[in-house]
Amino acid sequence: MSVDVVCAGPPFLDLVFRGLPRLPTPGEEVLADEVVITPGAMANVAFALRQLGCEAVVCSPIGTDPAGRLLQDLMAEAGIPWLGEPSPSTPLSVGLPMDGDRAFVTHFPEPSVDVAAVAAADARAIVVNLPLPAGLPSGPRLVGVVGDPQIAVLRERPVESWAPLHAVILNEREAIGLTERPNAVDAARALAARGCPVIVTRGAAGVVAVDRSGACHEAAAITVSVRDTVGAGDLFTAAWLWADLADRPLADSLAAAVAYSAYSLAARETRQKGLSLAAFLGEADHGGVSRSWMREVRG
């Protein structure tokens, strides 16, 4: 088996409650306008990569509980290959979009990575939750990602080298929480000192990245109207890696990822987010953010 990308981490069963007027207080019931049930986390990354033309799979234990059985059906419906051994429990998140951002309530069983299965996939790149699991193959591009559970683990550990990583992608709140620096730029510089490029997404403020030389790069956000921002970071990660695998310059990869995330969030999808390549290029051209390399991909 040979694929472009292995997403080496758990997909979540996401329950997204749209249209909440506010969060409930203890004992109170607040009505949502809509509930969307969808594969999330690494499933989002794999789905978007596949939409962009990359062969991507999820490699993670497969839950056999009721949530896991539903998630297997939804993954199959979305066309996301899922490789892994059976597991008794499934990660699950309740997404609460509000005021242009989102909060989560999450059940996250002890994560594990099937290193042998990852190696057997013979991927060009691996997206993996940090801390970096031991024994991953060193040939593919290793792209590290984090969430709140990973930040909590990393903060309790001695600072480790990220030299084996091709890049690390995280959001501003996570970067500041991990470094205790006052802003995304300072946090990105501090994290890049660990040995690899660091990319920090900032929502409406765009994205900042610090490369191996210490140079800082930025890309502006694109203003769109969205129903919820759940999955924004996953979409960004997928599009950035898609462009990076084409060996595009960092500035182009950042711009492409910002555009793809924004236009995918704005699309009137029924469930799984992530524009096809043709739809994305059309939106980029229409929005005036097309790059010469995008036209080359199209041709």
Output the tens digit of pLDDT for each of the chain's 299 residues: 689 999 999 999 999 999 999 989 999 999 999 999 999 999 999 999 999 999 999 999 999 999 999 999 999 999 999 999 999 999 999 999 888 788 899 998 877 788 888 988 999 999 999 998 888 998 899 999 998 888 988 998 888 899 999 999 999 999 999 999 999 999 999 999 999 999 999 999 999 999 999 999 999 999 999 888 899 999 999 999 999 999 999 999 999 999 999 999 999 876 799 999 999 988 887 766 555 555 444 43
Strand partners, 142: 126
Distance CA 192, CA 25 (A): 40
Distance CA 256, CA 294 (A): 8
How many CB atoms within 10 Å of residue 2?
Answer: 9
- φ and ψ at 191, to 5 degrees? -75, -35
Q: Judging by DSSP bridges, how do beta strands 34-41 and 62-63 pair with one another?
A: unpaired
